[in-house]
Amino acid sequence: MELKADRLTKQYDNKIAVDRISLSLEKGVTGLLGANGAGKTTLMRMLSGLLTPTSGEISYDDMSVKSEDYRNVLGYLPQDFGYYPEFTGREFLMYFCALKGLDKKSAKARCAELFEIVGLEEAADKKIRKYSGGMKQRVGIAQAIINRPEVLILDEPTAGLDPKERVRFRDLIGELGKESVVLLSTHIVSDIEHVADRLIMMKDGQICWQGVWKESDGSLEEFYLKQYE
């Protein structure tokens, strides 16, 4: 399991959003930190196959990220995602089960399992428009892991969750990292400290630091802030 990017660049008109980034992600949770506009979302979209790089290459175990095979093993949660207000939570997940290629029987079982994981069993048959922000975020997380992905790309997954839920999902992400390649982008440094095995920091479209952060290295938050001074 290796998601590799080689000299990845994305340019929009005169702005270079991602500038010659090379990285290799393996099984485990990799935290992605960076200020707004650092290029995190663009990088994640390219790694998800949603955006074609201006130059550079991406592959996952010799698969192209544009291939169906890759999408079959991918789970993606965008930073700012929507839903269908007229659907119930269960209908929303059943729809995404079909998009992920699960047959009806497996989809029903997986939905029940996911509602339990994200703590929405009681609200599964309520219209999503009646959900709170945190509940919608939980449904989003559920759709990202429907297909038990080998590669899981999460863009601010804990935004909008209350502290208790955040801890719960942090633990869930940690569990998923045992079996999958997880890339986790967040502004919450403590989340990264708790679950990330590796860390990538981005600034102005480039990686400004990457490696393993150890407690003996001091406070990650202070180090992170120093990068942007």
Residues binding another protein (CB under 8 A): 12, 41-42, 45, 48-52, 68, 71-72, 74-84, 86-87, 91, 94-104, 107, 140, 143-144, 147
Q: 73 or 220: whose CB is closer to another protein?
A: 73
Any idea of the CA torsion for 144, 145, 151, 152, to the nearest 10 degrees?
50
- Both tokens of 220, joined, read 């990650």
Q: 62 or 229: whose CB is closer to another protein?
A: 62
Q: How far is the CB of 99 from another protein (least distance, A)?
A: 4
Q: How far is the CB of 187 from another protein (least distance, A)?
A: 15
Phi, psi of 222 (to 5 degrees): -65, -40
Q: For the chain, first and last CA: distance in Å?
A: 36
Q: What proportions of the chain, in percent to the nearest 5, are helix, strand and coil?
A: 40, 30, 35
Q: 134 or 223: whose CB is closer to another protein?
A: 134
Q: How far is the CB of 61 from another protein (least distance, A)?
A: 15
Q: How far is the CB of 212 from another protein (least distance, A)?
A: 28
Beta bridge partners of 57: 6
Q: 1 or 50: whose CB is closer to another protein?
A: 50
> Counting beta carbons within 10 angstroms of the beta carbon of residue 56, is it exposed (0 to 12), middle (13 to 18) or buried (19 or more)?
middle
Tracing tokens 């989003």 back to the chain, one arrives at 140
